[in-house]
Chain A
Amino acid sequence: MTWEIVIGLEVHTQLSTDTKIFSGASTKFGAEPNTQADAVSLALPGVLPVLNKGAVERAIKFGLATGAHIAPRSVFARKNYFYPDLPKGYQISQMDLPVVGQGAITIQVEPLSGNAKPYEKTVRLTRAHLEEDAGKSVHGDSQGVTGIDLNRAGTPLLEIVSEPDMRSAAEAVAYAKALHSLVRWIGICDGNMQEGSFRCDVNVSVRKPGQPFGTRREIKNLNSFKFMQQAIDYEVQWQIDTIENGGKVQQATILFNPDTGETRAMRSKEDAHDYRYFPDPDLLPLEISEEWKEQVRATMPELPQDKQARYVGELGLSAYDASILTSSREMADFFEAALRAVPAQAKICANWLIGEVSAQLNRDGLDMAQCPISAQQLGGMLACIADGTISNSGAKEVFRTLWAEGGEADAIIEAKGLKQVSDSGAIEALVDEIIAGNAEKVAEYRSGKDKLFGFFVGLAMKASKGKANPAQLNEILKQKLAG
């Protein structure tokens, strides 16, 4: 009997504001410890929080992008606990009344094994709420003491909580990737996982299908999709083994060790902490008017799902192509910029981006933003394909040169003599010569050996040094061989 895996995610996205959520201190990453800790970050006696409007607007953007309810009135609460990197002794967060309510996000899942096909799935979002980050404890310096760096204290976070809708590690990873892409797309988070801008807590449980949810364990602070995958796989197997060996899964907070590939319990009982939440009396309820919401909506970029629909409907692309082209804002922007040079050739443009460009980027370990070819350069080359100046194989040569050396397609074609021969007289002469020089094969072809057609194409192409227009060549060859 098989087990069903149940996964829900809590994702902490660091919002891309210049200043902290409740003060004017900078949020820039990598500064000297405690140089970005103002009186509020240090929780000096008497200081008070003032809400950063930019953080709220980013939360509104997220709500709009996920079709979520945006609360006209939400409340900040204090989550009380003692920790040296929590300077006030409480974290300002949202509890009962979060700023963003229920929404949903549709993801493309690539199954990890077997010959299963990619499929689409909608994951429901429970809520997203604003909160401040804590500082950082720096353990084990040379004197064996723990240092506290409060540069990060008060950095704005949007915690995005999903329903337990995911049923495999693949779905969890696909969801996290989709979220990662979305928050970058709408410009609310830089998505830098190494710097901790996007961190995932994964709740995992297993059950027999149809049974109630099993006891969950929460894997904290995963900051890579690969680790997420490994951690879930390990954890699922651990839970199944535990139950099958007659044990019981205890609710726990656990950590994943990337070196060993194992998970281990951090605290045995999550509920041991009593956070004593209550509304923060230093902050008024957050009111979001329709007007404010509309002002924010006006600053939103076209969303990936809307772009996808437009690519399919207006440009005639396949749903698959459209989804790949909208997998990141950079990809979509690149596509649209390149398409400006060849407005009628969406398919060719898509093929090149998804094919050659992506493959080259992959080989060179670059991402779209680092692409050595600009959209204008690619567009120029595509225009040469579209008007027949170069063949596809000629284009590949041009592309390689653009990638390695830069320049313009026209100049490269000229310099390398890649201009395609579209003069029918010249092609005819060439074909005549081949027919004359291969009488035996021509006879075989004419007696019904159709497969030889390719042989003649090859000869002709070789003779033209690859410059013959393939469509024209085919046409003429067919005619002449027919006799």
Chain B
Amino acid sequence: MFESSLKQLGDALRAKKISSVELTQLYLDRIAKLNPELNAYVTLNPETSLTQAREADARFAAGTAEALTGIPIAQKDIFCAKGWLTTCGSKMLHNFVSPYDAHVISQFNNAGAINLGKTNMDEFAMGSSNETSHYGSVKNPWDTSRVPGGSSGGTAAAVAARLCAAATGTDTGGSIRQPAALCGISGLKPTYGTVSRYGMIAFASSLDQAGPMGRSAEDLALLLNSMVGFDERDSTSLKRDKEDYSRDLGKPLNGLRIGLPKEFFAEGLGNDVAQAVDAAITEYKKLGATVVDISLPNTRLSIPVYYVLAPAEASSNLSRFDGVRYGYRAPEYTDLADMYEKSRAQGFGAEVKRRIMIGTYVLSHGYYDAYYLQAQKIRRLIAQDFTEAFKLCDVIMGPTSPSTAFKLGEKGDDPVQMYLSDIYTIAVNLAGLPGMSIPCGFGDNAMPVGLQIIGNYFDEARMLNVAHQYQLATDWHSRAPQGI
């Protein structure tokens, strides 16, 4: 049952081979057994999950079930869910029970999916290893001495270890794709604005994007169908007709033009990762695709640009966590300023504070023009690189991350080294494009390698088929970690 696709699970539920309550209980039992070691979940609420499962079973009985009805799905703890602790991986929100549902949560609720639990994450989604969580690091199920990637590390580990059928993540600079790669699962960051950000705790508003994480591209298409949709509560939500992201699954790849950016295969890329990605490209050629050499010349600037813009927005977005209305307040203080200072000093972790400081600096009087404005201009150049590239190819491919999962603690003292883990993913967020990662083999230490597929705006349906065709021809995506 733990190896079934979402479609198979749906069919089994519909055929009453298993009830949603039984399925949910199976997962809850597995979580109880494995989560103490993996730390993928931070909050479980079995009673609530089972109540939802009973409602789902009633929908099957009434014949009103949809594709995801009754299926246990984990939610990244960045999404506000009514009645659930919603901590965003931070001590600052250690006691925050959301009084309302995020758009994503209500979409899944409406579809009848089961909220199985809230998954661990880097604090306020800031990190690439899940080591900044107030609730401790998640362990990579393939090797528990290694990181799962971040910030959606809990989600990636939960999917990889079969602690849920599928899960949600968010991606600001690679936070869906990089942990998907490091944990050997599939993850998709859609075009910016296609999934409402309402109720998703903001990190960097102009980059944040929710997306699905699962075991196959086919599963992702099903999940995406439930997540996408215009939401009038988010002013950046796009007004577009509903589409079926499964519609292209099954189209042959004959004539598909794959762009390979030379900047993605340069210095810094691990040999093991390069070999796995090369092999994947070879497989695509066998499937009928052709390869075009392209260049994204401004990609080299994407990390510095990102580390100006994202902290700038974060410094402002995180101002509301001041100890006044909700969340953590320092127990002792002398006056108002002291209350702010102590609450924020004690409530935020080091990485969050580092980014707030950077963001405050780049927005401050006299530096705004030199940093923020300049970064916005380069951001446009980076987006233009992609526009040019998509004149030559249909999708862009390359590695998701320069290396496989590193050891816990290995990069903790060197933020710049850590920031480089996202070197291939960040430009996609800056441009607002859709990007995904699928497993394409194993590197040194038998750790999974991710293949990144970048599409043009709103080209998710084609990207999903590009991934799906590869997954029909290979079995990397169905490998599961052993020995946990």
Residues of A bordering B, CB below 8 Å:
39, 42-51, 78, 80, 82, 84, 87-90, 148, 274, 276-278, 281-284
Contact = CB atoms under 8 A, between A and B. Distances in A.
Given A46-B201, A48-B197, A278-B372, A89 B316 contact: yes
B205 A281 contact: yes
B198 A45 contact: no
B320 A46 contact: no
Report the interface size class on chain B.
35 or more
Contacts, number: 98
B325 interface: yes
Contacts of A274: 364-365
Q: Which of A46, A80, A88 has the most CB of B within 10 A?
A: A46
Contact of A276 (B99, B234, B320, B363): B363
A281 B319 contact: no
A222 to B, nearest CB: 26
Nearest to A146: B336
B96 interface: yes
Given A45-B202, A274-B364, 18 more contacts: A39-B99, A39-B100, A43-B320, A46-B98, A46-B199, A47-B199, A48-B197, A50-B232, A50-B233, A50-B234, A51-B235, A87-B325, A89-B318, A276-B315, A278-B312, A281-B204, A282-B202, A284-B235
A276 B364 contact: yes
Contacts of B394: none
The secondary structure that dominates the B interface is loop
Contact of A43 (B233, B313, B325): B325
24 contacts: A43-B320, A44-B100, A45-B98, A45-B320, A45-B321, A46-B79, A47-B233, A48-B198, A48-B233, A48-B235, A80-B315, A82-B322, A82-B340, A84-B324, A87-B325, A89-B316, A89-B320, A90-B316, A90-B319, A148-B324, A274-B364, A277-B368, A278-B316, A278-B368
A43 B323 CA distance: 12
Interface in B342-398: 360, 363-365, 368, 372
Contact of B93 (A43, A45, A278): A45
A284 B236 contact: yes
A322 to B, nearest CB: 45
Contacts of A89: 316, 318-320, 322
Nearest to B78: A46
B452 to A, nearest CB: 25
Contacts of A78: 316
A48 B324 CA distance: 19
A89 B325 CA distance: 12
B96 A47 contact: no
A46 B202 contact: yes
Nearest to B365: A274
B59 to A, nearest CB: 28
B88 interface: yes
A470 B166 CA distance: 99
B458 to A, nearest CB: 18
Interface in B186-231: 197-202, 204-206
Contacts of A148: 324-325
A372 B180 CA distance: 76
Interface string B102-117: 1000000000000000
Contacts of A88: 319-320
B204 to A, nearest CB: 8
Contacts of B364: 274, 276
A48 B233 CA distance: 7
Contacts of A284: 235-236
Contacts of A283: 235
B2 interface: no
Interface in B66-80: 79-80
B337 to A, nearest CB: 8
A283 B237 CA distance: 10
Contacts of A51: 235
Contacts of B333: none
Contacts of B198: 46-48
